[in-house]
Amino acid sequence: MVSFITPPFENRVSKTRFFSQKPTLRRVLAQLFIIFAVTLSFSDLTILIKMIPEQEEWFKKEILEPYSKEKGVTVKIKRFANYNELDSMLQNDPEIDVVKIPMERSESYREKELIIPVSAIADSAETAIFRTDFMLPPLAVSERALYYIPRKLETRIMVYRVSKVKEAVEKYIKHLKDLDRELRKYRGKGMPDGYILEADPNQWDYYDILMAGYVWSKEDPKKPGGKIGHRGKNYPGTFLRLIDRSFQFGAIRGEISYLSSKPVVESFVWEGVYSKFNAYNNRMFKENWTGVDLWKTMGDNSIYLSFLTQLDCYFLIGTGENGLTGYMKTADDIDFAVMPAAASFTGEEFMLANRNITTGGWFWGISHKSASGRQALDLIKAMTSEENQKKEFEAFGVLSARRSLLKENRDELYLKRWRNRMLQTSIRQLNLNRFTFLPAYPDMERLQNSYYRLLYRLCVDNGDLHAIENTLGQINRMSETIAP
């Protein structure tokens, strides 16, 4: 697959021999030809990316233009709008050298030999440095080959209004008996024995999310709608939220594609419960909320708690730079926590119920069409340098996979800055996730549509789901009609 890739010039030609041999005309011409050919291959690069406009403009100005100036090369940008376009361009476009690849697509591209392994270009010492310096997800490697260098990691964390969490902790006792009574009507059992709502959301589980949401809906009746929200449109962002919940109940890869599997059923039950007891703001389904809607509704106090990525946090709070004006008047009332722990609602026992969700992100890869593999790798190294990744985190919250930038820091002065608290929470969540990554499925879109139909039925068209038996029956009926 990569027989046309050759080592860099200095590795192929001994410098001693180069200057010591008798300079015959043939030898001189041959040497000049080699130099000329190598120079030509370093003169132009094309990079294929997908970024929001503000981020692309910053990336071009702060990363690509300095590189171009230093190396004396031109870096041309091409863009893909969706994954189908990415598939087509990577297969067919002969100009592409470096490509930004979502993790969930990386295995497929590797198997189709659309990517030149990094280790086919780098020597063993250079490859060893990559392996040491980066936290490499399993999808970046295959057997002994290193295929990709991580551009960024991404995971969701819990984001909440500090004042509203304080309110819930102070007032939950007043509402606990009412919630307990309503739960007994629904499932024959109330809240867990000896229930306490902890002051620190890092200690919360699914029942705490329910309790806080219930309190908020009762304490602010003038503003209808629950105060917890997540993505609600039928698209990958919402689908991933549901998969994350299933993984928290210990789902394995094969169970995700079956709506009747116990972890998936439990996940959907909780979604229905949060809607039924008014913890969720059901506008998120009716209005097809995406990330932008979460930023807006958290900014205008329509919701008090959500589950957001690092980039979401930057758009929500804002930095005052690079077009990120934010939706919050101040960052003083926002804080972050790791994801709430899974807890059984149906009574099923889950040995692996935990806080882990998927780690996502993007890789840099070298296209199989690239005739400038060495220079493409050099560009990737520049883009993922420690200095540039620090800059990109400060600008857009891009979470580096460099081990040196993923160190925990508990210093109180350091944690006064919201960006640092967000980073530290994200690092803790990454450590909890360990090796939980989104699997690739043959018919991902069909599976996503199936999940969404059931989600909408449970959370919006739920007037007849007045008992847990009705909910479970509905899940079973729908899982039979949309089984893979």
| Residue 34, pLDDT above cutoff 70 | no
| Residue 284, pLDDT above cutoff 90 | yes
pLDDT computed for residue 246 by the predictor: 95
* Cα 256 to Cα 39: distance, rounded to the nearest angstrom: 50
Least confident of 163-177, 385-399, 459-473: 459-473
pLDDT computed for residue 435 by the predictor: 78
Answer whether 206's CB lies under 8 Å from 271's CB.
Answer: no
- Torsional class of 143: left (φ above 0), alpha (ψ -120 to 50), beta (otherwise): left
Query: Average pLDDT of 329-345?
Result: 96
- CB neighbour class for 225 (10 Å; exposed up to 12, middle 13-18, buried from 19): middle
| Residue 261 pLDDT grade (very low, low, confident, very high; cuts 50, 70, 90) | very high
How many CB atoms lie under 10 A from the CB of residue 467?
A: 13
Least confident of 18-22, 88-92, 186-190, 467-471: 18-22
116-150 per-position pLDDT tens digit: 999 999 999 999 999 999 999 888 998 889 999 99
Query: Average pLDDT of 376-405?
Result: 96
The rounded percent of the chain whose pLDDT value lies above 90 is: 76
157-359+426-481: same fold as 9-154+361-405? Answer: yes
| Residue 481, pLDDT above cutoff 80 | no
| Residue 462, pLDDT above cutoff 80 | yes
| Residue 189, pLDDT above cutoff 60 | yes
Query: Average pLDDT of 441-456?
Result: 89
* Cα 113 to Cα 11: distance, rounded to the nearest angstrom: 26
| Residue 292, pLDDT above cutoff 80 | yes
For domain 157-359+426-481, is the CATH number 2.40.50.140? no
Answer whether 401's CB lies under 8 Å from 380's CB.
Answer: no
Query: Average pLDDT of 15-40?
Result: 41
Least confident of 219-223, 244-248, 295-299, 394-398: 219-223
pLDDT computed for residue 38 by the predictor: 42
| Residue 2, pLDDT above cutoff 80 | no
Query: Average pLDDT of 3-28?
Result: 36
| Residue 445 pLDDT grade (very low, low, confident, very high; cuts 50, 70, 90) | confident
| Residue 438, pLDDT above cutoff 60 | yes
pLDDT computed for residue 442 by the predictor: 74
Instruction: For domain 9-154+361-405, give the CATH number.
Output: 3.40.190.10
Mean pLDDT, the chain, whole residue set:
89
**Range of 8-22, 210-224, 277-291 with top mean pLDDT:** 277-291
- Looking at residue 254, its amino acid is G
What's this model's pTM, rounded to 2 decimal places? 0.87
pLDDT computed for residue 114 by the predictor: 96
User: Domain residues of the chain, as ranges?
Assistant: 9-154+361-405, 157-359+426-481
Query: Average pLDDT of 445-466?
Result: 90
pLDDT computed for residue 124 by the predictor: 94
What tokens does 194 get?
């000896």
| Residue 173 pLDDT grade (very low, low, confident, very high; cuts 50, 70, 90) | very high
Cβ neighbours of residue 210 under 8 Å, at least 6 residues apart?
A: 179, 273, 274, 277, 279
